Amino acid sequence: MIPRYTRPEMGRIWDDENKYRKWLDVELASTAELETEGVVPSDAAREIREKADFSVERILEIEAETRHDVIAFTTAVAEHVGPASRYFHYGLTSSDVVDTAMALQVADASRILIDGLDRLLDVLERRAFEFKSTVMVGRTHGIHAEPITFGFKLAIWYDEFRRHRTRMEAVADDMRVGKLSGAVGTFAHLSPEIEDRVMARLGLRSAPSSSQVVQRDRHASYISTIALVGGSLEKIAVEVRHLQRTEVREAQEHFAKGQKGSSAMPHKRNPIVSEQVSGLARVLRSNAMAAFENVALWHERDISHSSVERIIFPDSTIVLDYLLDKTAGLLDRLVVDPARMRENLDMMHGLVFSGQLLLELVERGASREDAYRWVQRNAMQVWDAGIEFKDGVMADPDIGRIMDRASVESVFESARLIDNVEHIFERVFGRRQ
């Protein structure tokens, strides 16, 4: 991923230096267990522990000749170790090292992503309670529907990202497996017991069964979960973009001092962070498709997945880390305009209460068909002539036979909405405030 979207901590997990250090961690853990088994002499194991090292530059130099990154790595380490290096990489195949080390990298990346989700959840919870009673219009199909509160909208997002956190923990745990089962997974050279002990040293579990590689359904599940989180981040971004439109203007991204919106139009305040979130979420979805394609490998393995994963694992985790940070910051500093929300709610002269009026008429004995017809004919006058919905309803003789003025007035109040939101918050957050 380009530096523009790479935060340093996540970027370091995927740089070459750290990747080869993880490879070395796997090699040294294997050597230690083979020493315990008496396969590697103690003096050789000590030499490997004390001298094993590499430089990225030397690995790349050797790889340019060998066209094999793991052989380049082991050769570079052997140059530091000396004669004892004949026991380095003993009994292992390349994927034993690469897949197991990748599990270590993914574990580190997952911790950062879960921390990012926790920060976003904190922001969502705080701002949800801040705007719990801030009434605004709810929209379906982009058209005014019924009143909601802005806090209710945020509570829905909070509930969704709490589910994402649970998913992220699950797929991260599913990826905490490695293997030392050899070229086709049959433990031809090392025993399952040695594999178990090496994985325990590394904080991993042994894959219960593997071919030459850990099966890629795990990897596809992990990347698709990242894409799903990205989809929800985009949902937030799209909502902010709509709310910031000039015709709506109910909420907008923080506009910093000195910030510019357009090279040609000095008046512009554009939702650039939200648009960036929407754009990069597309990258995550594309990577998920590539991860699905990696599941079907030839026989006990081919290498078609390797080149893809060199891109999609660093890029997906780096992008999601970036988007979680950006979205948390966006919501933390989001400028909300309750007065404009109220103004927009009143724009359609009370039409948003048509559904409640329909139910009140039915409860008082009108047939649903009659009630719908009476309410709709008054609603259409609002659309066509701009009159107040309540005034039309008050003057309607059919409605007047069933509901008195006080009953009609009660329909056009939002007290019931606020009480319902209180109950929703208790279900989502486990508390009221």
Which token pair is 272? 């650039």
Q: Which superfamily is assigned to 1-90 in CATH?
A: Fumarase/aspartase (N-terminal domain) (1.10.275.10)
> Catalytic pick from 209, 262, 286, 304?
262
Alpha helix (H) ranges present in 333-432? Answer: 338-346, 354-363, 368-385, 389-395, 397-402, 405-411, 415-429
Examine domains 92-256+266-339 and 342-429 and report if their fold is the same.
no
Coil, strand, or helix at residue 329? helix
- The phi and psi torsions of 149 (rounded to 5 degrees) equal -120, 155
Mean pLDDT by 10 residues, the chain (433 residues): 92 97 98 95 96 97 96 97 96 95 98 98 97 94 92 97 98 97 92 96 96 93 98 97 94 79 70 94 97 93 90 97 97 96 90 89 92 92 87 89 87 77 93 71
Give the right CATH number for 342-429 from 3.40.1390.30, 1.10.3720.10, 3.40.50.300, 1.10.40.30: 1.10.40.30
Catalytic (active site) residue 316: no
Please tell me the predicted confidence (pLDDT) of residue 415: 60
Considering 141, 263, 267, 299, which one is annotated as catalytic?
Answer: 141
Structure tokens at 154: 């945020």
**What's the predicted TM-score (pTM) here?**
0.91
Angle between helix 16-36 and 42-51 (nearest 10): 160
Residue 294: name the closest of 284, 308, 275 by CA.
308
What are the residue boundaries of the structural domains of the chain, listed by start? Answer: 1-90, 92-256+266-339, 342-429
Is position 164 annotated as part of the catalytic site?
Answer: no
From the list 336, 338, 276, 332, the residue with the least C-alpha distance to 2 is 276
Q: Are 227 and 284 in contact (CB under 8 A)?
A: yes
Would you state the pLDDT for residue 167?
Answer: 98
Specify the CATH class of 92-256+266-339 in words: mainly alpha
